[in-house]
Amino acid sequence: MEKRVKIRKTVFGGAIARICCLALCLCLGLSISMTAQAASGKKVTPVTMAAVVGEEKTVTQQADKTSAALGMLPAGTTVNVCGQTGSGENGMYQIVYGNAIGYITQAACQSISVDVAMTAALAAQAEAVKQQVAQAEAAAAALAAQQAALAQQAAMQQAAAQQAALAQAAPIPAGSGNVIFVGDSRTGQMANAVGGTAAWPGTAFVACFGGGVDWLSTAQAKKDVDQYVMPGSVIILNYGVNDLSRHNDYITTINRYAQDWISKGATVYFASVGPVGENEYGKRNWAVEYFNNQLNNRLDARIGRLNLYVFLTGSGYTTQADGLHYDGATYAAMFRFLMQSIGRI
């Protein structure tokens, strides 16, 4: 409210100033008309009016079209008229031009009342103030959005730091045997990107394309992994992107499997679900983060944590057109990170 009051004071203060200027124009008109008559030989009759210039006009120093020019008036300019000489094509108006008095031809000038001129000037001022307010509001909104984005980024960084601290709090020594990757289509495509078992002897990739906890919890899925498990095996699970809302079921299943595998001499890790890009499946990174937090906080303490999500968001990643799967370079970086994390490369 205080800002609006100040704006109104500014607008009406400007109106008063213009009225005073007009009064001054009248006084100047009386005195300068005498000078104009002496200099040009033409009688200047004092008038009180305003006019709109219909075409570009040359402002002259004297009431003569051949007199030296003071400047130019663009078409559409409203001027205060203090006097006039003659009429018609040869007539000229005496006007206020900046801090001086000048003359323009009467042709293509439309006279308007002073009230109309003042109203137009006030309306122009009000519109200018309105635009300034709109710009200020837009700038404030942009600043608020930027601050919100920074706050969200800070929250994500804090969550990532908490996850990293959790993973470091209970380090799990890696086994010396084979490595078994267990996951969905991301795991399968990662295997293809790095050449699979042929390129990495002693490494198995157990992947179910499109799979989720409904598949992982079946006897067949467990059997597919068990065939590779031996003392010293390292098992890395990376499931969840296909059914992020099923974190409770994943926790139950992974804890149950891990208990059995650990009893057989294997080391078990959970690799957090990696980030997603823009996609039409409704999957968002805030949901990925929630899923990862649930598993990090509630999985058996004997299960190691590999923070793949933080690695990919920090180092950068590129998704395929579906926004869920990665390109070959990202899969290669993902594989290298996981193998380095367990001391295999």
Q: H/E element holding 31?
A: helix 2-40
- Residue 26 pLDDT exceeds 50: no
Domains of the chain are 39-118 (2.30.30.40), 155-341 (3.40.50.1110)
pLDDT digits (tens, 9 = 90+) for 176-210: 579 999 999 999 999 999 999 999 999 999 999 88
User: Residue 234, SS3?
Assistant: strand
Measured at the CA of 201, the angle between CA 195 and CA 202, to 5 degrees, comes to 125
Q: What token pair was written down for 281?
A: 């499946």
User: Residue 158, SS3?
Assistant: helix
Q: Mean pLDDT score of the chain, rounded to an integer?
A: 82
pLDDT for the residue 323 = 94
pLDDT digits (tens, 9 = 90+) for 227-281: 999 999 999 999 999 999 999 999 999 999 999 999 999 999 999 999 999 999 9
Nearest to 226 by CA among 269, 197, 258: 258
Q: How far apart are CA 239 and CA 300, in angstroms?
A: 16
Q: How far apart are CA 220 and CA 7, in angstroms?
A: 76
